[in-house]
Structure 1
């Protein structure tokens, strides 16, 4: 037998590079300049499956290869999302953008430029697009900014009136060790869904939420899931399910409070010592003022929970250490300020605020890090300079601003006017995902003369732009990541060269600032690594001021991460206030928890009374609109992506049904409509319609439909208001929570569902737009006012 020598194929070099995403830390494995896989961080007990989407997204055919200009922009043709783009050189693109910034600022002042972005753009803080676009526009003379966020915008402006701070909604909650050790009853309004804890703004080093939930279960804590969805608590938690009607949590809380008061189970001493205004609220609760007692029987007719269940839960809560939580989603509804105010009031009546394992918390089951033990040390941060124009609108009022320049609106006690925006500069985020009533947003999006977008992919927002500048992804640059909610800090090393002609946002803005005359102010003479060192050294200095020594930058960068020390003791929300309310006064006018707010009373808002109250939403199952649209649509955080991020990736695509986003429906509601599992259905109301793939799910309460947000917006080219991919924000109302906070009301949405007849239109969301080849074009706006 003759053995023939085989040629040995040379082994390709493999690089292993530490990095971070909002859904987890990982090691990027790189071969031949391509990311081939992402290995989870070794200290993460339950890493997110979303890591598997990263390689395909980095090298996606949807990457924007080079700068591009919309063909119709120079003639002023409408933005359709289906336009052809012409690729141009970087020099031409930068000249165009700088020229438009200069033109609009000269003609219309700072109020003519809207700086759009959203906080999920990057886990790294150096290349954080929201910070960078604000820095660029502020140093150039000012712009119109955004206030608050879609996640907890109503709470951000309510809580200072009630508690003197909104920190309890940003993740500063009583630590889980205290809950596990001392809580006996945990009532979770909105549930405790582990899927939501996959993500954290600034990244996740260790997904510990499930660990603590399992410890709570093992400790024998009774857990009650108050939600229209049984799946808002995992099966292994053995939580009791109270299937409440959507948007009626306030009625249930008032029924609980009424039982406590009328049966003498409330903590009168706590209310007298630590709270202001309870007697006035009690008059409302008992009906002395309006003739309607907010009893358990009254609440049953609104929320659908039996009165006996309400009374029994109130008695159980008063009899043992009880912890109340509410997800962020509760306040993303019409009158969304009320459930948070009512929860605080209910916790005050139980008297446990400031005690271990008692009181209240927000955001458990909404985001990674809430209640996880972490030393009170700073996280990575690079704040932008102040905006010299002092102009800003509530984040969810973008379409109102564009459609009604000069129009007045009320917000948190002030009457303001919308600026006349002529240019939108957007870097980071996807408003054609997170805004409401997307058909209305598309109409509003026609108003600006120019829309500039930085993006890495041909997202719906990029496709609705005039000038698109390709930005690098996190794996194409160096950065520092982490968050004050997580116990790790991470060095994010560049893994590959920029794809195509993509550039860092820092470099793009520096080049534009150079054309506009302030490059030195923008860069401060620092290159990328100098900014990384600055961010880390600020953390290190802040830790040293609290007696915690962190390694020098060189060691941190070489090792790839730093583990922060655990806290010396459990954190309990308002513990110091509870111990001495005179020394540790709250930053409210009374120094106490304001169950009644004189400041809010002074605003005179009929949609935001001065104490917690039941105000029927514009759309809910008890409203007249339910006769035409009898299903309440819940739009929740997807399990397979972060909002719209990585939607074209393999993890998200694997969850589609016939290429459409799933919608979940109770078996009774499906049978009533003659629908079967897997059907393509049309979901509609007066604002628009979308297609979806049906999943029949007994864990959804009757009368409720559930769709995850984030499917890339894919409207029919010929119009008509139909999104063929399954973006539920074509259905949600674009109204403020109230004049107090002007937050998002997306959870107050009624719809109807029917089977789709015929051949469904193709999904085009994951195909790049038509691209004309690179050529000298000398783009000039022919309709732009001079």
Structure 2
């Protein structure tokens, strides 16, 4: 199941961004070809075959020289060099496996398993077995446990908020109307943060075919109108012909409050739903109308904050309360200071509108944030690689890693709990790249010096690798055999190894098995099965689970021959929010949607009180800080990558400008700074500075710049100028609020200027520096 054929052959594979046929010649992967029946294939796989053997590919285990010479300990102390400023020494697998095993045992013995942080992220592979997060967590659980993380950088604020007030994230998703339902019953979609086409190209766990754009077009062709509130025109597909309301970033809650005030003050709100299906309308209404604080949240008030036109917003409010409407929020609007407020207020506005709990209307939970959101959801149960039980109870919100490393023992609040940061001595990271998704990277670099040891599995010599002590070269998705089922995607896809791993590269499982053997834990970790046997076992278990629903899945060989198998639409319960109108409770303390949450109110957090509120961020276009940093930075997902994956591949690099990540800015902002298309520019604030390539367009609001996430961090010197354009050098590392502690990247002000002189080269795509 794992060896690519000689001669010419074609095998199926799958990724988070699509299903492909891999064309192989004499064991060498030549191309990844989208399936013929994919209506809108994703080009992210262009150039990946060549990337597998690029100069930056890791092919041997490497250890940082300073760590080898001085042993474990905080970097930059006791004569030790800093992480991110050292060279590496190649070792053989037997020696490096013993080093890792000995260091794990040392930390476990001297400090306990809570001193190990098992860092990982879920996008490392679409496969059910070769899933990096599952692999490292199972390994660490077998070894006695680890400090873990909860939530995601994508959706922390909305996930915590919905658990408290709306029955949970899945309840909200199950109540979100599909685009086809909207086409049949709806009239208007109001999308805060937009419905960005780039997001519909990816899905956690994979995509069998890109059907979301087709479904959106059907809704538009059926007469559904779309309104997008975003500083970017491109946050909606052109074929939607969406009304564009170019608001100031971070003002979505104020806009929703203004819309709600207009509807309520004209007596057109759904009072029956608000009083019978919701909790706390009587506590929220005085705030909305101004009786509680003396500030009516009028359309004019909202427009003073957001920069929108009052007449335009008033017309939108009139439509919301008279037509079947979806109030949707993307993930982007909650990745900001007070990020819990936009989804909470969107739920409230949907309840006010009269469309909540009715076909084709209501709340669109993260609609447009992923391919699956707004699509038919498959409920087929699928087997996953078992992680076991973690005996260590310590955990952190995922976006608080720098706080944890910098402030061991310090107490913090999260979701109504009082917790304390453990003293982390060893970080083991498999899958994901914190030097992509964390905020304020210069602060992270400082925090990253604190552990005794950092161990990573990686494909390439990226920024995470260059800040690690022990680097273990891992196989990519194209070099492993597995199967994929996207989360709630209606397709099952085969993944057959299309290339042999180069050099001494191993799969994550093989790497961990080698270390487990040194620790006397091999059988516990592998369960006595080989990799191929595990894949076969997980597939058999998936077949068994499907059989319980009277669904017969093909045998493995048939699946491989077909490449992809469509899953039936199993019966599902109706919309939970529709059930509220019929007297069926949801999983909240009151059994109803909680416009006012007594639980959240009891926590006493001023930054997240008991009902939705507008709070002014520290950094936004209404802040006094604009005197020094007059531009709002938005840093959404990139057009040519998934997060930071394969940034060195041809498809991603073709979008670079002057060899750097492009930054989008309005012609007025460019002209006032003497900047032309293609110029190298410097973005900066008090946290750091980056270079980027200028792209000038009227499709962005004046005073706003967009620099996508995912460019591999490439500082000229530690803590210095980033030559490549990673926006998280500039973003704030503070929680959304005391409640969810999510990332707040979109509350960020910067200045931008023309860069003069010879720009430094981008070096991060090259090999790891060796001794």
TM-score of Structure 1 vs Structure 2, range by shorter chain: over 0.9
Deviation (angstroms), 1:430: 0.7
Q: Does 1:560 align with 2:559?
A: no
Aligned to 2:27: 33
Aligned to 2:250: 247
Aligned to 2:313: 310
Say if 1:171 and 1:710 are closer, same or farther in 2 by CA, change over 3 A.
farther
1:653-664 correspondence runs (5 A): 653-664=653-664
Deviation (angstroms), 1:396: 0.3
Deviation (angstroms), 1:235: 2.3
Contact 2:378 2:489 in 1 (8 A): no
1:224 aligns to what SS in structure 2? strand
Deviation (angstroms), 1:558: 4.3
Contact 2:345 2:612 in 1 (8 A): yes
1:259-298 correspondence runs (5 A): 259-298=262-301
Deviation (angstroms), 1:341: 0.1
Write the distance in 2 (CA, Å) between the matches of 1:329 and 1:379. Answer: 29
Q: Does 1:603 align with 2:594?
A: no
Contact 1:433 1:712 in 2 (8 A): yes
Deviation (angstroms), 1:375: 3.4
Contact 1:225 1:241 in 2 (8 A): yes
Write the distance in 2 (CA, Å) between the matches of 1:147 and 1:56. Answer: 36
Contact 1:26 1:39 in 2 (8 A): yes
Write the distance in 2 (CA, Å) between the matches of 1:408 and 1:199. Answer: 37
Contact 1:138 1:385 in 2 (8 A): yes
Write the distance in 2 (CA, Å) between the matches of 1:528 and 1:46. Answer: 33
Write the distance in 2 (CA, Å) between the matches of 1:383 and 1:213. Answer: 37
Contact 1:476 1:495 in 2 (8 A): yes
Q: Does 1:156 align with 2:150?
A: no
Aligned to 1:362: 365
Q: Does 1:65 align with 2:67?
A: no
Deviation (angstroms), 1:540: 2.5
Aligned to 1:81: 84
2:464 aligns to what SS in structure 1? helix
Q: Which moved more, 1:238-247 or 1:53-62?
A: 53-62
Deviation (angstroms), 1:267: 0.4
Contact 1:171 1:369 in 2 (8 A): no
Write the distance in 1 (CA, Å) between the matches of 2:371 and 2:166. Answer: 23
How many pairs does the alignment contain?
758
1:723 aligns to what SS in structure 2? coil
Structure 1 residues 173-202: Cα deviation after superposition (integer angstroms, max 9, x where no partner): 322211111111111111111111111111
1:236 aligns to what SS in structure 2? helix
Structure 1 residues 665-714: Cα deviation after superposition (integer angstroms, max 9, x where no partner): 11111111121111111000000000011111100001100011111100
Q: Which moved more, 1:351-360 or 1:550-559?
A: 550-559
Q: Does 1:574 align with 2:576?
A: yes
Deviation (angstroms), 1:36: 0.6
Structure 1 residues 370-397: Cα deviation after superposition (integer angstroms, max 9, x where no partner): 1211332224533411210111100000
Structure 1 residues 723-743: Cα deviation after superposition (integer angstroms, max 9, x where no partner): 011001000000000010000
Aligned to 1:778: none
Write the distance in 2 (CA, Å) between the matches of 1:538 and 1:104. Answer: 37
1:280-429 correspondence runs (5 A): 280-429=283-432
Say if 1:152 and 1:383 are closer, same or farther in 2 by CA, change over 3 A.
farther
Write the distance in 2 (CA, Å) between the matches of 1:741 and 1:192. Answer: 24
Contact 1:378 1:484 in 2 (8 A): no
Write the distance in 2 (CA, Å) between the matches of 1:613 and 1:738. Answer: 13
Aligned to 1:192: 195
Aligned to 2:769: 770
Aligned to 1:622: 622
Q: Does 1:45 align with 2:21?
A: no
- For structure 1, the 5+ residue unaligned runs are 1-10, 773-786
Contact 1:656 1:693 in 2 (8 A): yes
Q: Does 1:440 align with 2:439?
A: no
Write the distance in 1 (CA, Å) between the matches of 2:556 and 2:514. Answer: 28
Write the distance in 2 (CA, Å) between the matches of 1:377 and 1:492. Answer: 19
Aligned to 1:737: 736
RMSD: 1.7
Write the distance in 2 (CA, Å) between the matches of 1:636 and 1:333. Answer: 12
Say if 1:43 and 1:578 are closer, same or farther in 2 by CA, change over 3 A.
farther
Write the distance in 2 (CA, Å) between the matches of 1:205 and 1:252. Answer: 37
Write the distance in 2 (CA, Å) between the matches of 1:82 and 1:720. Answer: 10
Deviation (angstroms), 1:538: 3.0
Aligned to 1:671: 671
Deviation (angstroms), 1:757: 1.3
Structure 1 residues 239-275: Cα deviation after superposition (integer angstroms, max 9, x where no partner): 1111111000000000011111110110001111110
Aligned to 2:698: 698
Write the distance in 1 (CA, Å) between the matches of 2:554 and 2:172. Answer: 31
Using the size of structure 1 for normalisation, the TM-score is 0.94
1:128-147 correspondence runs (5 A): 128-147=131-150
1:587 aligns to what SS in structure 2? coil
Match of 1:18 among 12, 16, 21: 12
1:771 aligns to what SS in structure 2? coil
1:580-591 correspondence runs (5 A): 580-581=582-583, 584-591=584-591
Say if 1:547 and 1:698 are closer, same or farther in 2 by CA, change over 3 A.
same
Structure 1 residues 280-333: Cα deviation after superposition (integer angstroms, max 9, x where no partner): 100110111111111111111111112222222111111111111111111100
Contact 1:375 1:568 in 2 (8 A): no
1:72 aligns to what SS in structure 2? helix
Deviation (angstroms), 1:523: 1.1
Aligned to 2:208: 205
Say if 1:428 and 1:191 are closer, same or farther in 2 by CA, change over 3 A.
same
Write the distance in 1 (CA, Å) between the matches of 2:241 and 2:93. Answer: 57
Write the distance in 2 (CA, Å) between the matches of 1:298 and 1:422. Answer: 50
1:114 aligns to what SS in structure 2? strand
Say if 1:592 and 1:12 are closer, same or farther in 2 by CA, change over 3 A.
closer
Using the size of structure 2 for normalisation, the TM-score is 0.96
1:751 aligns to what SS in structure 2? strand
2:418 aligns to what SS in structure 1? strand
Contact 1:43 1:205 in 2 (8 A): no
Q: Which moved more, 1:473-482 or 1:441-450?
A: 473-482
2:66 aligns to what SS in structure 1? coil
Write the distance in 2 (CA, Å) between the matches of 1:378 and 1:255. Answer: 43
Contact 1:19 1:492 in 2 (8 A): yes
Write the distance in 2 (CA, Å) between the matches of 1:12 and 1:114. Answer: 42
Say if 1:119 and 1:459 are closer, same or farther in 2 by CA, change over 3 A.
same
Deviation (angstroms), 1:568: 6.2
Q: Which moved more, 1:82-91 or 1:434-443?
A: 82-91
Say if 1:264 and 1:614 are closer, same or farther in 2 by CA, change over 3 A.
same
Deviation (angstroms), 1:476: 1.5
Write the distance in 1 (CA, Å) between the matches of 2:420 and 2:631. Answer: 36
